[in-house]
Structure formats: structure tokens, C-alpha cells
Amino acid sequence: MKKKQNLRDIDTQKHSGEHSHDDGHNHSSPEKASKFRTYLPAIFSFVMLIAGIVIDYFDTFPFFEGWVRIIWYVVAYIPVGFPVIIEGWKSIKNGDFFTEFLLMSIATLGAFAIGEYPEGVAVMLFYAVGELFQNAAVKKAKGNIKALLDVRPNEALVYRKSDYISVDPETVEIGEKIQVRVGEKVPLDGKLLSEKASLNTAAITGESKPDTIAKGDKVFAGSINLDGVIEIETTKEFKDSSIARILDMVQNATARKSKTELFIRKFARIYTPIVVFLAIGLTFLPYLFVDNYVFEEWLYRALIFLVISCPCALVVSIPLGYFGGLGAASRNGILFKGASFLDTMTKVNTVVMDKTGTVTKGVFKIYEVVNNDAFPEAEFIKYLMAMEEQSTHPIAKAILEYKVEGTDFEASEVSEVAGKGLKGTVNGKTVLVGNEALMTSNNIQVPAKTNTIVESIVMVSINGKFAGYVTIADELKEDAHEAIKQIRKAGISRIIMLSGDKDSITKEIGRQMGVDSAMGGLLPEDKLKEVERLQKETGTTVAFIGDGINDAPVLATSDVGMAMGGLGSDVAIETADVIIQTDQPSQIAQAIKIGRSTRRIVWQNIGLAFGVKIAVMVLGAFGMATMWEAVFADVGVAFLAILNAIRLQKMNWK
């Protein structure tokens, strides 16, 4: 069934764009008033309906009959019925005759035509209330999604008329100069004009460590400035920035329908006209076979049949189920680009993952310290750190983070030997820090055992003698081991690690992690060939998890591509199907669980809707069900389906 616009859509449009920068908790008085106005028609109709039923039941008001009674129920009907009738008429004008709006309009107006006024009001009232409930559920899901990514700054300090002024980021043009103070968010994508900057890009890339960049480097909107006032020249308008594109992608995730959802919509387009003609047949055909045929009685049965057969419980609850899944995933830091990937995730039985940046932090750390007896470890490290303080290399940063008491050694006359390391003086002694090439070029004899070391190695010589070395290795993420356990627990039969890092390092990490197999030294095309080989195996559905940049070909080819903290990259946005913003591999299993729970709840809703509708439809055709049972079969089932879908957002996925 094609739905041009329903009550939920009207309300969603009415409220769209209201809270770009709030946190979902602070609501102004106008917003509260707007919400009250949304519910006011249903409240008014409910009060009028209950009052009318009470007056009818006690029969204590003689005037409540004839036109007075009709007008009373018409007034009760209009607030909730008129919008539906209007939408039904618009659909007809657009060539879409068989919509839920038309079914509900015919059924309720027919009830008025045969004098069943309370039933007519009740059917439309509960339908309207159902729409309000589903609108609330959709807004909650959207709120969960938007709260995760709404890291946009509220203002931009742009240089205009010889001064920096605060403006809306959306008004800043390409090529303008903006200023970002310490602790503030970068409002737009651009390039750094200042000499250097230290940025927290966790909200964009998922990387927890600060990113130090130099003049001319790219800066992404949403990054937080950590050190000093910086200036940036904008290279993109706000609507084209990385954050804006991600927000747009997530908010439109439901545009990519699941196969189940598409099937139900196609089914509804065929199903709805069939039940309309069956209702017409139920009204007139008994005249040919029943001796005591009463038109009003069979029309009433047909109207009941129409209300029961309205497919809104299916058409509403199923996409709402997927929306609930998307919202639950977003609340847990997992972004699905569409409902279709929630479905595909349920079929995954093979997980292939990259190493660096996926199960490891991608950050260097001292793994081992080996020193000669002539230089105790503490003294050896002080010589090393004194030299590395003069370097900006990532390995130098890892060494400087090593814990040692007292760093009072100072280096002087430090010079960089291109591609080899550093040379300088510490406490009057000549110190070399670098690789084996630096040592051999200065006639320093290196122990043979260093040739068997697979990790990155930094060697040190003091006054012409080899003093020792440190090995630098990538560090496993805190939840890496737990991630593998949870993936196994989720029923995944095979876990494979593929990496461009050294094969020996990859196999060792794989052994520590407990994966089924690990291969290193692979180029992007090698990873692609391996995943394609796996996909050719019968019954294999592959999810690949990578950094979203170097692994772009594999992310695009795999059945489900998952990017770990790659939100700052256009490649990640374009190629990954699922993005794990928190950069935690343990959320791979969560994504699988959410996908399976979503599908289970969707099929529960389908079974509930069909089961109840068929049962009450049969009873209605034989005159054993009234309009009230019809209301339950339609709106009641929709309520239950909505509540069932909402459960997704309440579940604990840890």
C-alpha cells in the first residue's frame, strides 16, 4: 500500500528541525504547548465519546435523541475523523484509491449511516490515538539516533569586517577564516592556518588519542581544539561537512527498506483492494442466498470486515520495528545505514576483521626494554627519553609515555638522520637512537638476536657502545578478548583476521585473540580476494570489519561492511554498511544481537496481526463480532505491535 502521508508524517514534518542542538531533555514552553495541541483533538473526542456513551447508557436526558444525539457524535468525530478523510481524498486525487485512510473513512461514515454513532467515533478515535503512539515511538527512535551524532557546534567565529563575529555555521562560506578557541568544537571542515593544532577527533574518527596536525592539514567539523587558539580556512559549506553528511545518512537510514518491509508493503497494495471488494460482496451477495436479508445488518458486517482488514497494524508496526532496531543500535553507538542491513546481519556466520584499528588501538606502546648491564634500565630509559623529547615521531610519543621516575637528563645538539633516527649529546655523552641502519653506519655492533624480532625496534648506543633497545608494539583494545567471546556467543562459527601488518605479528595477535585463522602481509586486493573466496562457499554470509579507508574495497564487497571509528572519512561513509562510532570491537556482537532481535520482533508482529485479524474477520462475517471487536483487531493489534517494537529500545545488549 502506498502511503502518501499519514498523521504521523504530518506531525513529524510539523516538528522537524525543532531541536538541532538540545540534548533531548530541555524543552521550552512553546514545545510543550505544541505537544499538547497535538494530543488535544484526541482528548476532546475521547471526552465527548465517553460522555455520550454514559448519557446513552443511563438514559436520563430525554433531549439526547434525534438530531441532538447525531450532532453530539458528529462533533466528537470531526477532530479525529476530518484529517483522515482529507488524507483519503488527497490519496484518491493522486490516483491511490485503496489506502487505510479510505478504509477507515468508509467504515466510520458507514457506521454513522446505519446509526452506530459511538462505534463510528470509537473506531476513528482509536485509529488517531494509534497514530499518535506510533509517532511518539518514531520520534523516540529518531531522538536516539540524532543524540548520538548531534555533535555540531552552535556557532562559528568568522573573520568579517576586521573582527571575529559569532554566526550560525550554516552561514559561513568556503574560503572564510574562522577561529576556534580551546575546548570549542570545530564548526566546519577546513585546512589549518595556524602552525600546529592538537585536536580531539573522538567524535569523528573514534580515535581516543589526540591528533596533532600541522599547518595546511585537513581539519574536520566536530573535532575539539585542545591547545591554544587556532585559525582555519573553510573548505566546505556546513551542509557538505563530514558530520552533516553522516547526520543526513543516519536520519534517512529507513529509506533503505528491508526485504520483509518491502514485501509487506507490496502485499498491502494487493491485499487492500481485495478486502474492499470482499466487503462489497459481503453487503450485497447475501441478498441472493438469504431469505430474511436485511441490508443494514449485512452492511454493518461489511463495515466490521473493513475495519478488521485495515492493514495499518502491518504497514505501521513492521517499519516501526526496524526503526526501533535502528534507534536501539544508535543508542549503543552502532549506525546501520538502512533496515536492510539489520536483516542481512541476522544471516552472518563468518566474521572477517582487520587487525590495526579494529582489535588493536593503532597506537604504539613500549612492549619490551632490553638493556646492557653497563646501563641500568632506569638510566638507559632516561638517555632514550632525553633524545626522543626532541622528536615528534609517533614512536617517540610512545616512548615518552613510558613510566620512569625522574627525567632530568637533557639532550643537546640533537640532529635527525633521515630515515635512520636521532644523534645528539646527553650528559656529555654521544647518544644514537634509531634503527639498525643508524647503528651500522656509525660502526656500532648490533646483537644478532635483534634480527629475529618481529616488532618495531628502537636501538640505543652511548659513547660508541650498544646500550640496548626497546620494542614497540600496537596495543590490544581493552575489550578485544571479550569481543571474540561475545561474537562466538552470538553463534558465529568462523572468525578470521586479515592484516597488512607483518604475518608473524598478525598470527601472534590472532593466537592471543583466539581467532580461527590469521593472515598478515596482505595488500587491500589480497584481502578482497580472500573475502570473495569465502563468499563463494555455499551458505556463507560474511561481515568484514575494518578501518573504512584502506579496507574500502573489502567493505564494499562483503555482505555487511562495518567501519570501526572511520566517521571522519568520506570513504567510510560511502562504503561501510554499519559504522561503530565508539570504536569498540565488542559492539560487533551487539550489532548481530540487535539485528536478530529486530527480525524476531518484526515476525512476532506479523504473526500477531495476521492471527488476530483472520480470527475476528471470520467472526465478523458470521455476525459474531461487533465494531468493538473490530477496533481491537485493528487498532488494538497495532498498539500491541508498537509496544512490542518499543521493547527493542529497552533491551540490554551488553
Partner residues linked to 551 by β-bridges: none
Angle at 486 between CA 483 and CA 492, to 5 degrees: 105
Q: What is the CA radius of gyration of the chain?
A: 33
Tell the residue number behind the cell numbers 553522516, with chain if given. 246
Of 346, 315, 309, residue with least CA distance to 606: 315
CA atoms within 13 A on the CB side of 124: 35
State which amino acid sits at residue 170. Answer: E
The helix (H) or strand (E) run that includes residue 538 is none
SS3 310: coil
Q: Are 7 and 125 in contact (CB under 8 A)?
A: no
C-alpha cell recorded at residue 35: 505537544
* Rounded distance between C-alpha atoms, residue 490 and residue 591, angstroms: 10
* Rounded distance between C-alpha atoms, residue 166 and residue 186, angstroms: 13
Look up residue 185 and give its DSSP letter: B
C-alpha cell recorded at residue 534: 569465502
Cβ within 8 Å of residue 358, ≥6 positions away? 545, 546, 547, 564, 585
Tell the residue number behind the cell numbers 573548505, with chain if given. 235
Longest Cα–Cα distance of the chain, Å, equals: 119
CB atoms inside a 10 Å sphere around CB 129: 19
Query: What DSSP assignment string belongs to 344-404?
Result: HHTT--EEEE-SBTTTEEEEEEEEEEEE-TTS-HHHHHHHHHHHHTT---HHHHHHHTS--
Of these residues, 11, 211, 354, 559, which one is catalytic? 354
Cβ within 8 Å of residue 370, ≥6 positions away? 468, 469, 470, 471
* Rounded distance between C-alpha atoms, residue 213 and residue 186, angstroms: 14
Q: Could you confirm whether 189 is annotated as catalytic?
A: no
The helix (H) or strand (E) run that includes residue 513 is helix 503-513
Provide the b/e sequence for 289-317 (b: ≥16 CB within 10 Å): eeeeeeeeebbbbbbbbbbbbbbbbbbbb
Cβ within 8 Å of residue 559, ≥6 positions away? 344, 347, 348, 535, 541, 542, 543
SS3 327: helix
CB atoms inside a 10 Å sphere around CB 329: 31
Strands (E), 220-341: 224-225, 230-234, 334-336
CB atoms inside a 10 Å sphere around CB 2: 13
The helix (H) or strand (E) run that includes residue 197 is strand 196-200
Please identify every residue annotated as catalytic: 354
